[in-house]
Amino acid sequence: MIGTILLLALLAIAAATDVAWQRIYNWTTYSGILLAWGLNAAGEVAVLAGKADPERLEALGWIGFAASLAGFLLCGFVLLACYVFFQVGGGDVKLMAMVGAIAGPEGGIEIMLWTFVIGGCMALIVLVWRVGAVRLVARAARHALWTLRLGRFVPLSAEDRAELQPALHLAPSALAAAAIVQFAIVERL
């Protein structure tokens, strides 16, 4: 429960700054990572000292320091690859690493996959809203016909590419994804 509250609060802050200023601040992500590691390390020490019950700590959102570190590394590495190959922002990399540190490897990957699905849907909606569905389909068909007619791939012009690249905000998608995963909304449907 504490892990869920911490995760959703930090993602809400990141979503607000991402939408308002197109930035995910280091103080949000780094403090989330350090809090996750600190709480999980404190839980490890308490369990090893016999001062805390592991089941009770798990009910509060404790996943253990090793799982927190594994989630951080796994989610961070996946988004680092996206940063290199797909030009995802550096703040998004740190945000997903924070999600992995708080939710662990399994929860972090599940939240990350939902983030990509929700983010892709939001990008498509923004693209259709900006360009228009009919115009978008007509331009895609025209481009496909030119490619077939010439017998080779025809790259898009710079202005066409610019119009097809809406500004993406990954933090609001991550917030929605964390809510879906943490509250198991999909399992109830």
Q: Report the number of distinct structural domains present in the chain.
A: 1
Contact by Cβ (8 Å): 80, 90: no
Each residue's pLDDT tens digit, 147-176: 888 888 878 878 877 777 777 789 999 999
Average pLDDT over residues 42-49: 90
What's the predicted TM-score (pTM) here? 0.85
- Token pair belonging to 174: 């991550």
- Backbone torsion region of residue 53, taken as left when φ is above 0, otherwise alpha when ψ lies between -120 and 50, otherwise beta: beta
What is the DSSP code (8-state) at residue 152? S
Domain range holding 123? 2-188
Contact by Cβ (8 Å): 101, 33: yes
